[in-house]
Structure 1
Amino acid sequence: MFENEMEESLSGTIKISDVSYDALRAFVNYLYTAEACLDEQMGCDLLVLAEKYQVKHLKTYCETFMVSKLNWENALLSFAFANQHNAKNLLDSALSIIMDNMDKLS
């Protein structure tokens, strides 16, 4: 990115447009402090960033938080999210809740 004649190397600036300012700020803060204040939305946002930039310990932290918030109402969405972002622990936990509550799907 900073090598050759790419825009980033010439300007010294990286543009990251696929994430909110708050999520990016929390991500950078985590890189410096190893601390993050999570709610459901921030957990999702940081998990996506952690996967994209391969910050495994943050991804695990977010996944653990999201598993703790799982319930029947959010299990299907969490399953889809986990599948999309390779979050195996969240995927398995959401699937378990879905399987345990199959009778509610009818």
Structure 2
Amino acid sequence: MTHVVSESCIQCKYTDCVDVCPVDCFREGPNFLTIDPDECIDCAVCIPECPVNAIYAEEDLPADQQHMTQLNAELALLPGWKSITKRKAPLPSADEWKDKTGKLAELIR
């Protein structure tokens, strides 16, 4: 099992979670963070750090977010999605997007 970043992160990209990750399993895309399932050790320290509650243990992922498990794995392998290990500012429009749902169409690969 691994941890999964859900659609809630899209267009927000708060990076509080990367500061606490002991194995640097987060990858950064243009408007989303993903977790590399091959690197994640299931420590769960990232879950309470996310201000939009976007991170779940795979077994706790809501039914409407199940597709994000495979998507996290795919995105983690993309060449442009580099490891992120230090917190940085969220996207400028993060506060406008943080409470919206159904944001998958907004994902930039």
Normalising by structure 1, what TM-score?
Answer: 0.25
Higher relative contact order (CA 8 A, sep 6+): 2
- Higher Cα radius of gyration: 1
More helix by share: 1
TM-score (norm 2): 0.24
Higher strand share: 2
